Structures are given as structure tokens and as C-alpha cells.
């Protein structure tokens, strides 16, 4: 690089440090340092250092931590997700689509009827959903209403009760005679009455006794700080997770929850954080609630994590993950600051110290950084051309050395939270290179945590390094230390779906064709790729048919990688070194869609009934001229070990073929198939799909029924 170009570059770098901070809000990498008082010093993420959790020494310390990540009022207007205005939360569900679920689709409890359950990932770990059944009744939320439907026998089906909410329910659980309904909450009148203003939104959690299905009895009303993230139920305990941001506005920094009309604060000792350079920190607030004993005390923990988390839960542990990135630009900024700071005059040093010591209520961390960078910028402006050239060379030299320390530029941080009969404990922390796509990327088997990641391409703005994306599989022990890693799989491709089943991993990557990998995890210290199959298209969701057959749902594609119709595949993996696609179904319509590609709970499968049901939608716009037909409903398939056959579509269009998929969930009770859209529950026989009855899911105050 010529010297004149370097000079221009370094001037641009220094100027951009300030402007980029204004554009990025509180994105700068910072590390909490207890000894620095009101200012958080910068630091870089170190991949070689262990991730150990710690707690805050005092309420003031936690308060300073929160304030240090508050930008100029950004969090006051936004909720914990950083993008939804607080005054818009009322009546809006925050639904997080999860990619998980293994269950053949039926179990038996008190009812004598056979029925399907939620398509859960882990046997014994129930996932919150918008619909549940106990074999006799269906419980579902639509709009602002909870409907209880006498579902079987089908010809006698009817809505027996409706419970309306001021704030839209997101999901529910059913456990014997108890039902929980929850969703995001906002009510100005209630907050005024409680003399409390939520900082990052609230979530309500209502528990009902449903012995009398016609008149559910409200037993308990909880409200938790933060917006709903995830929930699981193991036996009688619900593990309920909310997310809240770092905005702080007194009188106490600790997360709160409201039990009826009593405001309670989480204990300081139950809030954990990690010595890492957070960029967009949030609190993940974990509560355990005994659904069958609503008056039992709640156990709670909170951990500081980055935004955009994923969560997986086994019977014994919850794993919350997020990605930490090594950013070349951030490292360069740190180098510039470190080099310039010693050049400051005594008076400017005093000014910097004064800025740092200013109370966080007066100046936020973000505002302090701007003032300090303004001082640094003045020194760069007074450099001679020769000084700038030398300075740039020094920056480049240090940057090159630092970048050589990093074998990878992105890491998934893993936090393990143990659960046992409602007790919650932060038990281990770890990290692996790359990022995960969803909860299906994770699994725990025989106390070994398994995870599949994709490493993004690395590109340097100075042409010193460029890599392609690769994919990896890691095994980790009980302390989340890496046991083994299979790395560098499918270069220049990315993971589209994964499924851990016992001692194997089935994984699909894609760019132009679909490599379907079979990976052996039986020796956790020696992971092996057993075989792969390359076919056009890709699967976004994988589900076991049996131990040697896998169902995949995704898209067909041309040899050049151009996606086409909705595709369902059957993979025979009995010969692990030579997996085969033994059957496939591809829609004639190139633009057909199914929410089951992304939402596993919309996927209904039962091997004994040879039944596969998924939501399906297509509108054949006249200008496409692609052939096929328009539909909006549930596709019903006959599926065997060797074949997939479309039997028909249960229609839910109601004249709305144009506006996306209507069907949300499917379930069965005995010989009947139930398909649900927002305002309709249709009942058909599984044998011939003939219509039995349709139940309108319409609240008392609207919308207008459509016949």
C-alpha cells in the first residue's frame, strides 16, 4: 500500500471511529471492570480464556453495569428485543419460532383415547405451544382468546368456554387439571396502580384450574419483567424464560416479578454475568413455577447474555447460546486508542478522567466514549504527514499480530443451567467456533453436549486473509470442555438442518446441492463422518421415521442451486456409508410454502397411522404462469418407509388464498384429524378425509364469522 494511501486510510479510520459509534449506538465492545467505577474499559474477547460466571458485589455495582450499557435513551423507548416500541407491546404476541422436535406423535394420559402431543424435541420435556389436547378436549389460543373445545367425539364437538385477555396470549401448557396461559403484557392503568413502570416490557403468566372446563378458575396471576422468550415443562415444573435489556431507571436495578399485587425483586446473588466484551447485552430471566401447586414459591436466576440467543433443553439442563464475533474493525479501534492515549497532555488526561468519573445518570457510557474520542481525534489532526505514516504502520503491525492470535473470528458461547424439581443452578460455561442456526443444532446425550456450527467466511479489508464458510461438529463434557471436533465439513456451504438421534447426527448443508451427512458420535472423543449423499435441493427440518429412516422437508432446487417447489424426502440410512433418498414428493407449484419448514410444531407425524400432515399454501398468480393450483390448508400424506403419497388438502382458505398460510397446527384424536387456523378448527376423518365438523374460533367481540 502506498504511503499516501495509508495516510488517507488512517485519517479515515480515526474519523470513522467516532462516526461509526454514533451509527451503532452502544455496539462498542466493552468489558465490565469492578475497579473502574462509572466507566467500563474496553477489552477484547479472548477465545483461549475460560468463560466463568460471576455475581455482582453490590446493588450499586449491578446498577453501574446496567447503566454502562445504556445508550442515549435508546432502551427507554424500546423493549428488551431492541426493536419493538413499548407502547406497541399491548396485544402483540412475540412468537419465537424454534427448530426442534422429536416425537412420533401420540401418548396416553388420563384419557382412554389415543392422541397426538406437541412435536417436542426431547421426550419428557414439553414445549409451550398455541394448542394442546388431553384426548377429550382441545385447548387453544387465537387472537386475545383462550378456547376450550370439547373435541371428541367429533360430531359432538363444540366450544365450551372462552376466556378473553387484554393482552394477546402467546402460548400455553396443560397439566392434568391445571392450565397456564402467558404472553407479553402492558397496561398503563395497572402500572399506575402498582406505582411501577416496566423498563423492558412485562410478561404475564396465568394459572387456571380446569376441572370445570365450562368455567376455568383463575388461581394465580404472575407478571415477570421482560418479554417472553422460551418455556418448557418437565413433570409439574414450568421453566419460564424472559428477556430484558439493559435500560435502567430506578428505584432498584434488580429484575422484578409481580405475584398478584405484590412486587418482588430477584435476589442480587441470583444474577450472573461473564467477563466478556458484551455488545448487545440482555438479561435472560429464568423462573421455575410448579404448575400443579400455584402457591409454591418461585425459584429464579438471571444471566447476562448477548442478544439473539438460542435455547435447548434436556431433562436435566437448559443451554442458552449466543454468538460472539471477533471484529477486525473493533480491534483496530482499540489499538488506535491505546497508542494515542499516552500522547495526551496532562490537562487532557485529567479531562478524560473527569469524563470517566461522571455519574452515569448524567452521561451514559456511550456519551462518555464520544467525548473521549473527540479528544483523541484532535491529536490525530495535529500529526504531520510523516507522523501519520509511521502511526499507520505501527497500527498495521500490531493489528497483524493480534489477528494471528485468533484461529477463528466467531464463537458460540454456551451457558448450562441445571434444573432439578424446580431448582435452578448455573452449572457450566463453554464455547466452540462458529454459530448455530437453531435449537436443532444442539443436543445432550449421556451427559455429553453435542453441537453443530457453521463458520462464516472471513474477509479482511486489507486483503490479508480470506476464507470460505465451513461446518463443524463438537462434543463437550459435563463441564463444557471440548472432547473432540469434526471440522472443515462442506467448504463454502452452510448448515440448513441438523438432527441428533442417539449416537448419530444427520446434517444437511447447502449451496447448490444438498449434502446429507451421516455422522457417528458413538465415540465422543473420535467423531467420524460415515457417509454423505448429494442431491439437488435441501431440507430445513429433519424428523426420524424410524432408526434407519429420516424424513426431510425443505425445497427442491436445480443443479445450479435455484430453489423450486416444496419437497419432502425419505432418506434410508441403514447403510451409513451410503445413505439413499428412497422417495420424494415435490409440489408442482414452485412457490408452494409450508410453515413446517421453520416451525417444527406445525409438523404432525405418526408412523402407525401412516400419517404426515403439514400446513401448505400456494397462490398461482396469473403473471407467473407456473401451472398448478392455488390452495391454503393442510396437506395430508400417506407415508411409509418407502413412499410418500399426497392424499389431499384440508381447506382453510375461507377466501383468503392470497395472504399466506392459514393453518397453524395439526393434531389427531383417535380416528379424527384436527387442523387449526386462527379462526377455524376443522375436524376430518383420517381414513378418507371426509369432513366431520367445523368449529369457529371467534371471540365474543369479533371478528365477523365467515361461513
Task: Determine the Cα–Cα distance for residues 589 and 627; give it in Å rounded to an integer.
Answer: 7
Percent of the chain with pLDDT over 90: 56
Of the given ranges (99-108, 245-254, 628-637), which has the lowest mean pLDDT? Answer: 99-108
Give the confidence band of 2 by pLDDT, cuts at 50, 70, 90.
Answer: very low
Helix, strand or coil, per DSSP, at residue 79: coil
What is the model's pLDDT at position 333? 80
Q: Is 196 a member of any domain?
A: yes
Q: What is the mean pLDDT of the chain?
A: 84
Q: Is 109 a member of any domain?
A: yes
Q: Are 472 and 517 in contact (CB under 8 A)?
A: no
For range 289-315, the mean pLDDT: 93
Q: Give the three cell numbers for residue 660.
A: 399466506
For range 62-79, the mean pLDDT: 58
Q: Is 661 a member of any domain?
A: no
Q: Does the predicted model carry a pTM greater than 0.75?
A: yes
Q: Is 208 a member of any domain?
A: yes
What is the model's pLDDT at position 643? 97
Contacts with 80 (C-beta within 8 Å, 6 or more apart), sequence order: 200, 201, 226, 227, 242, 243, 244, 245, 282, 283
453 or 91, which is more confident: 453
pLDDT exceeds 70 at position 628 = yes
Give the confidence band of 97 by pLDDT, cuts at 50, 70, 90.
Answer: very low
pLDDT exceeds 60 at position 10 = no
Highest mean pLDDT among 46-55, 582-591, 684-693: 684-693
Q: Is 276 a member of any domain?
A: yes
What is the model's pLDDT at position 431? 94
- 237-273 pLDDT tens trace: 999 999 988 876 666 788 889 998 888 889 999 999 9
Total structural domains within the chain: 1
What is the model's pLDDT at position 373? 81
pLDDT exceeds 70 at position 671 = yes
* Domain of residue 166, residue span: 87-322
Q: Is 374 a member of any domain?
A: no
**Residue 395 φ then ψ, to 5°:** -60, -45
For range 677-706, the mean pLDDT: 87
What is the model's pLDDT at position 80? 30
pLDDT exceeds 90 at position 180 = yes
Smallest CA-to-CA distance from 139 within 684, 676, 558 is with 676
DSSP, residue by residue, 648-707: EEEE--TT-TTSS----EEEEETTEEEEEETTEEEEEETTT--EEEEEE--BTTB-----
Q: Is 144 a member of any domain?
A: yes
Q: Are 299 and 292 in contact (CB under 8 A)?
A: no
- Report the 10 Å Cβ neighbour count for 621: 11
- 22-70 pLDDT tens trace: 333 333 333 344 434 566 665 456 667 777 888 998 988 888 888 777 6
pLDDT exceeds 70 at position 18 = no
Q: Is 352 a member of any domain?
A: no
Amino acid at each position: 500500500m502506498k504511503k499516501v494511501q495509508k495516510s488517507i486510510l488512517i485519517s479515515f479510520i480515526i474519523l470513522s471511529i467516532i462516526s461509526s459509534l454514533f451509527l451503532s449506538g452502544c455496539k462498542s465492545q466493552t468489558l465490565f471492570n469492578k475497579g473502574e467505577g462509572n466507566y467500563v474499559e474496553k477489552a477484547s474477547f479472548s477465545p483461549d480464556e475460560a468463560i466463568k460466571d460471576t455475581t455482582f458485589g453490590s446493588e450499586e455495582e449491578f446498577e453501574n453495569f446496567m447503566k454502562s450499557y445504556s445508550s442515549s435513551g435508546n432502551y427507554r423507548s424500546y423493549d428488551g428485543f431492541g426493536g419493538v416500541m413499548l407502547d406497541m407491546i399491548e396485544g402483540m404476541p412475540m412468537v419465537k419460532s424454534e427448530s426442534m422436535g422429536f416425537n412420533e406423535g401420540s401418548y396416553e394420559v388420563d384419557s382412554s383415547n389415543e392422541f397426538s402431543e406437541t412435536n417436542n424435541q426431547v421426550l419428557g420435556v414439553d414445549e409451550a405451544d398455541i394448542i394442546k389436547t388431553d384426548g377429550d378436549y382441545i385447548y387453544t389460543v387465537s387472537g386475545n382468546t383462550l378456547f376450550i373445545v370439547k373435541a371428541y367425539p367429533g360430531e359432538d364437538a363444540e366450544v365450551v368456554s372462552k376466556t378473553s385477555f387484554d393482552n394477546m396470549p402467546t402460548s400455553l401448557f396443560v397439566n392434568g387439571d391445571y392450565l397456564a396461559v402467558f404472553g407479553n403484557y402492558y397496561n398503563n392503568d395497572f402500572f399506575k396502580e402498582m406505582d411501577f413502570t416496566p423498563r423492558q416490557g412485562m410478561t404475564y403468566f396465568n394459572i387456571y384450574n380446569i376441572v370445570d372446563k365450562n368455567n376455568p378458575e383463575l388461581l394465580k396471576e404472575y407478571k415477570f419483567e421482560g418479554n417472553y422468550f422460551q418455556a418448557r415443562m418437565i413433570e409439574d415444573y414450568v421453566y419460564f424464560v424472559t428477556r430484558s435489556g439493559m435500560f435502567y431507571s430506578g428505584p432498584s436495578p434488580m429484575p422484578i416479578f409481580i405475584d398478584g399485587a405484590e412486587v418482588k425483586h430477584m435476589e442480587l446473588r441470583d444474577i450472573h454475568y461473564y467477563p466478556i466484551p458484551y455488545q448487545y447485552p440482555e438479561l435472560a430471566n429464568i423462573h421455575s413455577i410448579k404448575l400443579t401447586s400455584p402457591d409454591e414459591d418461585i425459584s429464579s436466576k438471571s444471566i447476562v447474555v448477548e442478544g439473539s440467543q438460542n435455547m435447548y433443553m434436556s431433562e436435566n439442563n437448559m443451554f442458552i447460546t449466543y454468538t460472539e464475533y471477533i471484529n477486525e474493525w473493533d480491534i483496530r479501534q482499540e489499538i488506535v486508542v491505546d497508542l494515542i492515549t499516552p500522547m495526551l497532555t496532562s490537562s487532557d488526561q485529567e479531562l478524560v478522567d473527569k469524563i470517566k468519573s461522571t455519574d452515569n445518570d448524567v452521561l451514559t457510557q456511550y456519551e462518555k466514549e464520544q467525548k473521549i474520542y473527540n479528544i483523541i481525534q484532535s491529536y490525530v489532526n495535529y500529526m504531520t504527514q510523516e507522523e501519520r505514516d509511521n502511526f499507520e504502520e505501527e497500527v498495521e503491525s500490531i493489528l497483524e499480530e493480534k489477528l494471528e492470535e485468533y484461529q477463528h473470528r466467531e464463537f458460540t458461547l454456551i451457558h448450562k443451567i441445571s434444573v432439578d424439581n424446580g431448582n435452578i443452578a448455573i452449572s457450566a460455561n463453554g464455547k466452540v467456533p462458529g454459530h448455530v442456526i437453531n435449537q436443532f443444532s444442539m443436543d445432550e446425550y449421556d451427559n455429553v453436549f453435542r453441537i453443530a456450527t457453521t463458520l462464516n467466511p472471513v474477509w479482511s479489508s486489507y486483503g490479508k486473509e480470506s476464507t470460505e464458510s465451513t461446518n463443524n461438529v463438537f462434543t463437550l463434557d459435563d463441564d463444557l470442555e471440548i472432547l473432540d471436533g469434526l471440522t472443515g465439513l462442506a467448504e463454502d456451504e452452510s448448515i440448513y438442518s441438523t438432527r441428533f438421534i442417539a449416537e448419530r447426527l444427520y446434517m444437511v448443508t447447502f449451496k447448490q446441492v444438498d449434502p446429507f451427512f451421516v455422522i457417528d458420535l458413538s465415540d465422543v472423543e473420535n467423531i467420524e463422518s460415515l457417509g454423505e449423499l448429494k442431491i439437488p435441493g435441501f431440507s430445513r427440518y429433519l424428523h426420524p421415521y424410524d432408526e434407519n429412516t429420516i424424513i426431510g422437508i425443505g425445497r427442491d432446487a436445480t443443479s445450479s442451486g435455484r430453489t423450486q417447489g416444496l419437497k419432502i424426502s425419505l432418506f434410508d440410512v441403514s447403510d451409513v456409508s451410503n445413505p439413499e433418498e428412497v422417495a420424494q414428493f415435490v409440489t408442482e407449484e414452485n412457490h408452494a410454502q409450508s410453515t413446517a419448514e421453520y416451525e417444527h410444531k406445525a409438523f404432525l407425524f405418526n408412523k402407525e397411522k401412516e400419517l404426515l400432515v403439514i400446513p401448505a399454501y400456494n397462490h398461482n398468480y396469473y403473471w407467473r404462469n407456473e401451472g398448478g393450483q392455488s390452495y391454503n390448508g393442510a396437506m395430508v400424506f400417506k407415508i411409509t418407509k418407502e413412499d410418500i403419497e399426497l392424499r389431499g388438502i384440508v381447506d382453510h382458505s375461507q377466501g383468503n388464498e392470497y395472504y399466506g398460510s392459514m393453518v397453524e397446527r395439526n393434531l389427531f384424536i383417535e380416528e379424527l384429524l384436527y387442523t387449526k387456523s386462527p379462526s377455524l378448527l376443522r375436524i376430518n376423518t383420517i381414513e378418507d378425509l371426509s369432513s366431520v365438523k367445523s368449529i369457529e374460533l371467534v371471540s365474543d367481540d369479533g371478528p365477523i364469522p365467515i361461513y
